[in-house]
Structure 1
């Protein structure tokens, strides 16, 4: 270790050497040093900004960032999911029958940035091409399918839990009064007049007995995490919209397995946080949402409110996403 005297001599020698450098070279040297320092600072800031971005996306752990992003791409594909349905002029028919009040509908969406040309076409025009639901338009489709599910004449609405949930069978007026107490009915504020004036009143499509039986069967096993009920008891907007989707798929000849597969993808767009978490839970078991049986995942043990709560207690949840349509209002 050098003593104090030797250190002072060394500093004096360095200062002497510095003084012997011509002024022009000194100025040039300091410019290069300053430029180098700035470069180091910029690179360092870029690194930390990238690290913080990873932390944000992964809930704080940069090692999980890639896992979460990969999970999202598998659960919520950016390309969307093709719905095996024919929409044609259904929006126009719903508007024409008063199920959708176009003025109220457009007013709602004007506050959300307005309807895109494609969305206007779905509401008022004729659509003959493929129907693709994406994360972006999932909430719009939620409202369209909600309107359809509410209005389309179906025995599930007329004889199912919506009218006999209390175990009592009363008059038709009493049944309608009971059915009108739910978020899926009284909460549809975009109709002309009372929404119950349209409840199972319009034969938008007619199912064969086999198609109706398929809807009955699948609807009893498709749950939603906002409550403990299946689609067979469509007491909220998600249940009513899913019922409408199942009816449209059945009418278009979809198989039971296809209906479950599509229903799981649609639920994932409507409840992204829920199904990203379920995907993580399944990966703990050596599976994933993409490889699991859709029928099982849509059942009460996974997709009901209490089933999901049980899963949630066992998983470190990923970063929360803005809901595609998780709220139970328009």
Structure 2
């Protein structure tokens, strides 16, 4: 976000480190996809954690004018993330953390044939180029990052809040119980696969940043990834750290990603900041991602003080 022109096209992160056939799938897969599309929601009876767990992130009726700087918050050309995806999709599928056929079925049947060549390459191929998040693929990347965060071995999952006995086990959360397209159960893959190694310094960076990133669907940080957005953000943080991304770039990328996942939320926050005389390109990502702005309770406080911009289509819910 170095200048307005970039904000309106494609964002870059210069400080990043190194960088069937056509026959129909079985009927059981189709049925599974239909069930999954309706079931992957936060109201499936999975364990609730800190209250309030949900925010009305859609806001009020969508009759307020657009804020006028949507392109700065959600660049139409997308945002390039400081990572290389490589063959992680194929590795996730190979390990069974993603059942590739069932995963594809969701997009082929429920999303009316939107399993694009890009999606196929990210899931089954090898992508050594830039990984860019856009309005169009934000939901798909959310699901890939969700699988990565869930399955990649990390002490945050093994020793953090998810393992608190008060919650009755890590398998009772939406981020685990809601991931129903693995081979076996989600807990068969929970922190079980080592897709990359983090140095002590890189893990410390993931710990620090994950404790500071909140999401408007609940009051928890990414260090407590009890829903899909939290688990997906954890996976992204680990991936960025493994590529040697700087702390600055990780905060910046995380804000861009959260903005695409919760567009109404961050357009509202951007309106709030504009009313305070702060342009979106000048905000501090660490501050905006913190509890005072991005948690459910923080966002509700912000939203009560502004006229909400026109609603956008986006991945604000905790399902697929």
Range class of TM-score, shorter chain = 0.7 to 0.9
Structure-2 residue corresponding to 1:146: 146
Q: Which runs of 5+ in 2 are unaligned?
A: 1-60
Shift of 1:59: 5.2
Matches within 5 A, 1:263-282: 263-282=254-273
2:278 corresponds to 1:287: yes
SS at match of 2:96: coil
Cα distance in structure 1, aligned partners of 2:220 and 2:90: 31
List per-residue Cα deviations over 1:256-307 (Å, max 9, x = no partner). Answer: 1110000000000000000000000001110033211000000000000000
Structure number with greater Rg is: 1
Cα distance in structure 2, aligned partners of 1:60 and 1:327: 21
Report how many residues are paired: 258
- Alpha-carbon RMSD across the aligned residues, in angstroms, is 1.5
List per-residue Cα deviations over 1:295-328 (Å, max 9, x = no partner). Answer: 00000000000000000110000111122x2221
Structure-1 residue corresponding to 2:112: 113
Structure-2 residue corresponding to 1:95: 93
Structure 1 length-normalised TM:
0.76
- Which of 212, 218, 221 lines up with 1:227 in the alignment? 218
Structure-1 residue corresponding to 2:203: 212
Q: Which runs of 4+ in 1 moved over 4 A?
A: 58-61
2:305 corresponds to 1:306: no
Label 1:60 to 1:227 Cα distance change in 2 as closer, same or farther (>3 A): closer
Structure-2 residue corresponding to 1:186: 177
2:280 corresponds to 1:327: no
Q: Is the 1:188–1:329 Cα contact (8 Å) retained in structure 2?
A: no
Q: Which runs of 5+ in 1 are unaligned?
A: 1-57, 167-174
Matches within 5 A, 1:1-330: 60=63, 64=65, 68=67, 70-110=68-108, 111-114=110-113, 115-164=115-164, 166=166, 178-323=169-314, 325-330=315-320
Cα distance in structure 2, aligned partners of 1:221 and 1:322: 26
